Structure 1
Amino acid sequence: MININGRNVKPEELHKEIINNEQRAMLKQMSAYPVIYYYQSLQQLKFELLFRENTIKAAKALEKSGIKFTTFTYSFANKNYWNRLANGGFLLREGVNPSEGMEDILKNGKLYATECSTGIAIVLYIAVLYTIGPRAFNTYFRRLFLMDWQFDEDLPVYHSFGEDFIIGDVLHFKNPDFSPKEPWWRAENVVFLGDDKFYGHGVGIRDSKTIINFLNGKRKDNPDESAYLMRMITRPNYKTIFLLR
């Protein structure tokens, strides 16, 4: 259910304002769930829908970039833009505009390799860039650090539990019986693209059955439990990011 400034709103009431089919699909999902999504204004809602749309755009762009999958131990990045730290994370070099650092990952993906959680972080930062533009992005994200779930304070991210999956959400497949020889496949973090399609760094764009079958092929001997899609949902705090425009 969608609530704008204290009033519940049906998706069809917003169709004059929101003509993009992908964003309309998001509205339909929100309206169908018993969860109430509160917004102070229509502009705040439209910002979230745009951000979600840009998350999909960023995920598809990263998929095409050629960025490689690896563990933190063997991660690497373009040295012209990023310093690789001892822990495997990437710190933006002094004098480099944050927007240019993120854009280089898409342009020269073959010069980068990292694991799946950092891949999702890259998607979200690119989505921010697409949504607020390079000028604001360069103002708020001066010293970008890419590693795991460590986000800049201006990109607050939170986890919740439920089944109200919306296009653009970050979701998680868990592999309880992962092989100790390949512990990095204990889970796969993904962006929900809609229609049972997900992007995960290391698996690409796949449906849920394909991802589960892939993870089940990375289990220990004599496993007891299949991989599965968790009820955990990860979302940026869209309302906070809305203030950065």
Structure 2
Amino acid sequence: MISVNGHIVNPEELSKEITNSEQKVILKQMAGYPVIFYYESLQQLKFELLFRVNTIKAANDLDKSGAKFTTFAYSFPNRKLWYRLPNGGFLLREGIYPSEGIEDLVKNGKLYAFECSTAIAIVLYIAVLYTIGPRAFNTYFSRLYLMDWQFDEDLPVYNKEGEDFIIGDVLHFKNPEFDPQQPWWRAENVIFVGDDKFYGHGIGIRDSKTIINFLNDKRKENSNESAYLMRMITRPNYKTISLLR
């Protein structure tokens, strides 16, 4: 269900205000859950819908960029724009606009390699850039650092348990009996793009069955516990991010 300014609304009531077809699909998903999605204003709802649509665009753009999958030990960035730190993270060089650094990941993805958790952070940063624009992005994300689940304070994220996931959410496939020789396949962090399709760095955009089968192929010998989609949902704090514009 959707609550705007203290009132439950249905997608039909918002049809004149929200005309984008992708956003309408997300609205329908929200309305179909018994969980209530609360918004103080229509503008707050519109911002989240735009951000979620831009998250899918960002996931598709990164998927097509040519960026490679690797572990922290072997990660590398475009060194013209980023420092590679000893822990495998990337730190934006002095004098480089944050928007330029993020855009380069899409334009010159072949010059980068990283693992799936950093990929999720990159997707969300791209989505922020698409949503608030380069001027605001450069103001708030002046010294970008890309590493695992470490986010800038202006891109707060939180976790919740449940199955009420919607397009643009970050989800997690767990592989409980992963091959100890390939520990990086203990899990796959993904963006839900709709219609049982998920973007996972190193796997691409695939349905849940394909991702589970892929992870099951990365299990230790004589294992019998299948990989599965966890009940944990990771979301940006859209309300806080909307204040950056």
Q: TM-score, normalised by structure 2?
A: 0.99
Letter in 1 for 2:203: V
Percent of residue pairs identical: 79
Residue 48 of structure 2 aligns with which residue?
A: 48
Q: Within 5 A, what are the aligned runs for 1:47-126?
A: 47-126=47-126
Does residue 156 (structure 1) correspond to residue 156 (structure 2)? The answer is yes
Aligned-pair distance for 1:21?
Answer: 1.1
Q: Matched residues in 1 for 2:194 and 2:104: separation?
A: 27
Rounded to whole Å, the distance in 2 between the matches of 1:210 and 1:50 is 29
What's the counterpart of residue 25 of structure 2? 25
Aligned residue number for residue 204 of structure 2: 204
**Counterpart AA for 2:173:** F
Aligned residue type for 1:92: L
CA distance in 1, matches of 2:16, 2:172: 34
Task: Show the 5 A alignment for 1:207-218.
Answer: 207-218=207-218
Distance in 2 (alpha carbons) for counterparts of 1:11 and 1:37: 13
C-alpha displacement of 1:224: 2.4
Give ranges in structure 1 of 5+ residues lacking alignment: none
Runs of 4+ deviating beyond 2 Å: none
| TM superposition shift of 1:20 | 1.0
Number of residue-to-residue matches in the alignment: 245
The structural deviation recorded for 1:124 is 0.2
Between the aligned partners of 2:82 and 2:111, the Cα distance in structure 1 is: 11
Distance 2:42 2:34 in 1: 20
- Structure 2: give runs of 5+ residues left out of the alignment: none
Q: Distance in 2 between matches of 1:148 and 1:139?
A: 23
Distance in 2 of aligned mates of 1:92 and 1:158: 24
Corresponding residue of 2:228: 228
Please state whether the residue corresponding to 2:244 is helix, strand or coil: coil
Deviation digits for residues 104-138 of structure 1 (CA, Å, limit 9, x no counterpart): 11111010000000001000000000000000000
User: How many angstroms apart in 2 are the aligned matches of 1:79 and 1:192?
Assistant: 31
Q: Tell me which residue corresponds to 1:243.
A: 243
CA RMSD for the aligned pairs? 0.4
Alignment of 1:1-40 (within 5 A): 1-40=1-40
